Amino acid sequence: MGKTEKWLAGLSFVFTLGALGYFLYKWLVLDTIDANLIFGFFLFLSFTLNLVNWGNHEGPTEKDELVEHVQTQSARIGYYVLMALSGLILFISEGSGNFSEISNIPLLIVVGLTFVTVPIVEFFYKRRYM
Amino acid sequence: MENTIKKYREQLGLSQGSLAERCEVSRQTINAIENNKYDPSLQLAFDIARVLGVSMEELFKP
């Protein structure tokens, strides 16, 4: 990572912490939840992680087969991590592991969609070859 | 997959960077292959063998 990228990563990290700190302040002190700050936190966090990983906020600029291998494997693992996290967030936010007690139906649908997204994409994608 | 890339590369006096440049991949890729952390595609294995001037059988052992 060059000097410029290091500065950008540092700056992006400061913005990430700023958004997180301001969100916590509003939540804990002012008792309000700001969706803009949550979105901003994750946006800046993704910039920071991409800069640290690849030296560019959009990901790798030059790809070779090892980079593609890393990205493919990460996407596969990331999908299952996201599946587990969405289920975890659903059960923690509802305070119950019992499906009959769940009231956040949109979030339940999102959790359900994580199970079927890959098979649906595979169904259409395999038609290109089989 | 075991390989002898480092041996042949050093015999030719090539650095990982220059071998990577000639194979049009990153130095990290060559480093990962040499350390048996990554198995290259057939195309890249051919490219490495061509640059080092040895056969695939000499370079890679299953």
Q: Count other Cβ atoms within 10 Å, centred on residue A40.
A: 18
The per-residue pLDDT of chain B, averaged, comes to: 92
Measured between beta carbons, the chain A residues lying within 8 angstroms of B29 are 64-67
**Whether this model's pTM surpasses 0.95:** no
Contact A62 B38 (CB under 8 A): no
pLDDT higher than threshold 70 for residue A1: no
pLDDT higher than threshold 80 for residue A57: no
**What ipTM, to 2 d.p.?**
0.82
As averages over each run of 10 residues, the pLDDT of chain B (62 residues) reads: 90 94 94 93 94 91 75
Strands B60-61 and B2-3: antiparallel
Domain annotation for chain B: domains and CATH numbers: 2-54 (1.10.260.40)
Contact A65 B24 (CB under 8 A): no
Of all residues in chain A, the one with the smallest CA distance to B44 is A65
Residue B2 pLDDT:
83
Between positions 83 and 112 of A, the ones with CB within 8 A of B are none
The per-residue pLDDT of chain A, averaged, comes to: 89
